Amino acid sequence: MTQFIGLLTSNGYVQAIMGYAVLLILIGWFVGGRVKNSSGFFVAGRRLSAGLLFTTLIAANIGAGSTVGVAAIAYRSGVSAWWWIGSAGIGSMILAFLVGPRIWRIACRHNLYTLGDYLDRRYSRTFRGLFSGMMAVGTLALFSGQLLGIAWILEVVAEVPKEAGVIVGAVVTTLYFMAGGLLSAAIVNLVEVVVILAGFLVALPCVWSFMGGWSGLVEKVSQNLAGADAGVLPDYFSMGGIGTTVIIGYLVMLVPSFFISPGLIGKVFGARDERAIKVGTAVNGVVQLFFAIIPVVIGMAAFACFPDLSRPDLALPTAMKEMMPFGIATLALAAIFAAEVSTADAVLYMLATSVSNDLYRTFLNPAIEDRALLGMTRVVTLASGLLGIIFALFLDSIISALTIFYSLMSVSLAAPLVFGLFTRRASNAGALLSSVCGVVLTLFCTFYRAAPSVNLLVGKLDTATHLVDFGFTKLNATTCGILLAFVVMALSLVLPPPKNQEAEFSELKSKA
């Protein structure tokens, strides 16, 4: 901490980022003063316009994975790293036009605050508890990953120790979100999005000029890969270079994640009308698809100039520090800091609402008063920030943290949510069985080591690579788990539908 204080008095990067951090906290607390009840904290009083919904969604979706993580993938694998953010953009379009408007109507009709509220109503309290408990663990890993992204950026660019970087990220995010929940986050995100887009749009031309354009990038990458296998260079500049198995894995894991995420659906619950959902969420998806190009190019440029980095996660901060003038590097640093913090607040939203509303109020204290629930949620937010710091100090990489979260969420929820929204025959038994079967298969394929290979009736598991060979293609553990969950959920449709769903679906159909 003494070293950090010294940097604060002498390092221009640290001074700039701390000034920006204080601004975010002040805005959050100013807005938070207007939040007097749990509705304001959880769903912003359901008054988010298309513009505010867009900014709070894009701020949540451009985070450590979409910046530091994707640049790291591009550093190793080239152009095909686009598929990480591209998959997220596709999922956002599904949220905009299919899932979002439909689940928002249900939320408004029954005054639902969280995805857990919906799962309780659609299936059962048991399913809600199972999912919420699992999400609490996965979300904590995700939050820690965001803090790790902040720490690495500050460490490489501004020489801030990792521990201090983690603490700075946690303090900023926790303080402004704790003040006003979704409403504070939405207003702060507006400022963050401006900084994020401005920073990256200015950084890209600097990197491009430093490299000498596309021809310079190709030339330097070719030199670095001169001793590699003949097929490596074409793959590096191919959209399929990362491999079909990995691309399918991204699509199956990430596309559902971005239309079933409790954090994103919670933000959709805060929309003031269906038009706001369609416009705000769709524009967010389009921006993701185009933004995906920027960290990919920066990651490739980092490999071209610095092929011997100790770890790929250092690609983005190294490019910022070495390829840009101080003024632009400072703006880029603020942009990445904003990206990580804005996603971290979305994760805190998921974690705080899951613990306080979906677990505490549902199972431990159903009679809790509204103001007490608001206070409880703020306490949970503070505790989550502290736990995030502890977890971040032990994580190895950002992508590993994100993979834990996205795998748990997609495998357990994708099938029940999709079937639950679009067919009345989806049952609680089917939802529970599909989630359990999907998670068990995913864990088995990931951790089983007793034999080099295992026959799984329709494919053979290679326990060294965690891939299942179906003869015509190989799929990773998460993909297999999601596919099994959908198959089990489809087979469960032979069971009788819940009695309360007939009227629900008739009303939805009449208002669609």
Asked if residues 258 and 270 have their Cβ atoms less than 8 Å apart, the reply is no
116, part of any domain:
yes
| DSSP one-letter string for 314-367 | GHHHHHHHHHS-HHHHHHHHHHHHHHHHHHHHHHHHHHHHIIIIIIIIIII-TT
pLDDT confidence of residue 318: 87
Domain count, the chain: 1
Asked if residues 114 and 280 have their Cβ atoms less than 8 Å apart, the reply is no
Rounded CA separation 509/132 (Å): 29
478, part of any domain:
no
| DSSP one-letter string for 366-415 | TT--HHHHHHHHHHHHHHHHHHHHHHHTT---HHHHHHHHHHHHHHHHHH
pLDDT confidence of residue 506: 55
Write the single-letter amino acid at 193.
V
Kindly report the pTM of this predicted structure.
Answer: 0.84
pLDDT confidence of residue 402: 63
Q: In what side-by-side order are the strands of the sheet with 474-476?
A: 453-455, 460-462, 467-469, 474-476
390, part of any domain:
yes
431, part of any domain:
no
138, part of any domain:
yes
Task: Please report, for residues 27, 53, 442, 510, the alpha-carbon distance to residue 273 in angstroms, rounded to integers and kept in the order given.
Answer: 26, 11, 38, 17
pLDDT confidence of residue 227: 64
State whether residue 469 is helix, strand or coil: strand
Rounded CA separation 147/140 (Å): 11
Q: What is the CATH number of the domain that holds 65?
A: 1.20.1730.10
List residues bridging with 76 in a β-sheet: none
476, part of any domain:
no
226, part of any domain:
yes
- From first to last of the 512 residues of the chain, give the pLDDT tens digit: 565 566 556 667 777 778 878 888 888 888 887 788 888 888 888 989 999 999 999 988 987 778 888 999 999 999 999 999 999 999 999 999 999 999 999 999 999 999 999 999 999 999 998 888 877 777 887 788 778 878 877 887 777 888 888 888 889 989 888 888 888 888 888 888 888 888 899 999 999 999 889 999 999 998 888 766 655 678 899 999 898 889 998 998 889 989 998 889 999 999 999 999 999 999 999 999 999 999 999 999 999 999 999 888 889 888 888 898 888 888 888 888 888 788 788 888 888 888 898 988 998 899 999 889 989 998 999 998 898 888 888 766 555 656 666 777 889 999 999 999 998 889 999 999 999 999 999 989 988 888 899 998 888 999 998 899 988 788 989 899 999 999 999 999 987 766 655 555 555 555 54
| DSSP one-letter string for 238-258 | STTTT-HHHHHHHHHHHHHHH
Rounded CA separation 474/242 (Å): 14
486, part of any domain:
no
Rounded CA separation 429/424 (Å): 14
Structural domain for 128, as ranges: 2-398
